Amino acid sequence: MKISYQSIGTIFTPFKSVEGMPIQPSGAEGIEGTIEILPEFVEGLKDLDGFSHVILLYHLHRVTSYSLSVVPFLDKVEHGIFATRAPKRPNAIGLSIVSLSAVKGNKLFVKNIDVLDGTPLLDIKPYVPDFDQVQATSTGWFEKNVKRAKTFSSDDRFKDK
Amino acid sequence: MKISYQSIGTIFTPFKSVEGMPIQPSGAEGIEGTIEILPEFVEGLKDLDGFSHVILLYHLHRVTSYSLSVVPFLDKVEHGIFATRAPKRPNAIGLSIVSLSAVKGNKLFVKNIDVLDGTPLLDIKPYVPDFDQVQATSTGWFEKNVKRAKTFSSDDRFKDK
């Protein structure tokens, strides 16, 4: 089954290349970005400015192939791609929760963004703790590695040759 | 810009029609579902069983058109679609955080699922509190309405005629 989507806007950030990027928003504290929404979708932003955080879904446009087994940035052993947040996924959809500073016209001003400059945006959802926070009792291989995400940045391992 | 994805599997749940469905996993407590992953993607599930919760991204396949302004289930006034979790989005991508009970072969057994039976799956990401929990200081129009999500179920307002 083929599924088609369209870009609803573009994410602009200081990260011009994959190398050296933070690997999660938790490592992108304070990094500012701007999102420009295409004119035909601006009406959909009404009341978004009431939310302190939003979920961004975007197309990882530099990813051109996938790997089902990967050694993620935060570990040294291989895991299934669906047990990681690595970008080379069968459907290259990225998810980031960012802080929303302001909405002005067709522009969103955001903080704590770990996204590559020029990334096509697919969807914006308001972040609602009652829906989006669950009491996770186990986080698999992340358990002993996750604290490193704050200081870790990417290398070229998921770059297409 | 057109973006193409493919289904990596199918979500099976007790919800055979849109009417009467819980509108969020918080209203689907205990509801069990099964996810069948296509054989060619099963390798990607390795080590997923170490996680208590996963993020599902799926294609809202019954949505055939979108509305930029909607009156969501939890309110009586109109909001921009991107300030809601309503399904009739420009890109009909659904997001649910569900409890993962077991992974057996190509099957995932999940709980607290608010998804329509037969929904095509796009991606699975492990739920990692360090990445996915932020300190939201405002949740817009949800603030006075969100507690109702536990007891509320959908009607036919987002059904295509």
Domain count, chain B: 1
Which tens digits make up the pLDDT trace of A13-64?
A: 999 988 878 877 677 888 999 999 999 999 999 999 999 999 999 999 999 9
pLDDT of residue A108: 98
Kindly report the CATH number assigned to the domain that includes residue B80. Answer: 2.40.30.70
- On whether residue A57 sits in a domain, the answer given is yes
Burial of residue A49, with CB atoms counted within 10 A of its CB: 0-12 exposed, 13-18 middle, 19 or more buried? middle
- Best probe of the A interface among B37, B53, B82, by most A CBs < 10 A, is B82
What CA dihedral angle connects B70, A120, B11 and B56, to 10 degrees?
Answer: -90
Q: How far is A147 from chain B (nearest CA, A)?
A: 8
Chain B contacts in chain A segment 105-144 (CB below 8 A): 120, 122-134, 136-142
More confident residue, B145 or A129: A129
B123: burial class by Cβ within 10 Å (0-12, 13-18, 19+)? buried
User: Which residues are within 8 A (CB) of A30 and not within 5 positions of it... i.e. 6 or more apart?
Assistant: A111, A112
Residue A98's φ and ψ, nearest 5 degrees, are -120, 160
Q: Tell me which amino acid residue A112 is.
A: N
ipTM, interface predicted TM-score of the complex: 0.92
Q: Two tokens at A80?
A: 């299934």
Distance of CA B65 to the CA centre of its chain: 18
Is the separation of the CB atoms in A132 and B26 below 8 Å? no
Q: Judge whether A136 and B129 are in contact, CB under 8 Å.
A: yes
Label the pairing between strands A79-80 and A69-70: antiparallel
Distances (CA, A) of A100 to A48, B18, B60, B157: 9, 32, 26, 29
Number of alpha carbons in the 13 Å side-chain half-sphere of residue B129 = 11
The pTM of this model reads: 0.92
CB contact (8 A) between residue B89 and residue A129: no
Question: Is position B157 within any domain?
Answer: no
Has residue A1 been placed in a domain? no
Tell me the mean pLDDT in the region B138-149: 81
Q: What is the pLDDT of residue A149?
A: 65
More confident residue, A156 or A11: A11
Asked whether residue B73 is domain-assigned, the answer is yes
Cβ contact B21:B125 at 8 Å? no
Residue A59: inside a domain, yes or no? yes
In a domain, A23, yes or no: yes
Segments forming the whole domain that contains residue B109: 9-129+145-150
Cα(A100)–Cα(A77) distance, integer angstroms: 35
Say if B2 falls within a structural domain.
Answer: no
Residue B44 lies in a domain: yes
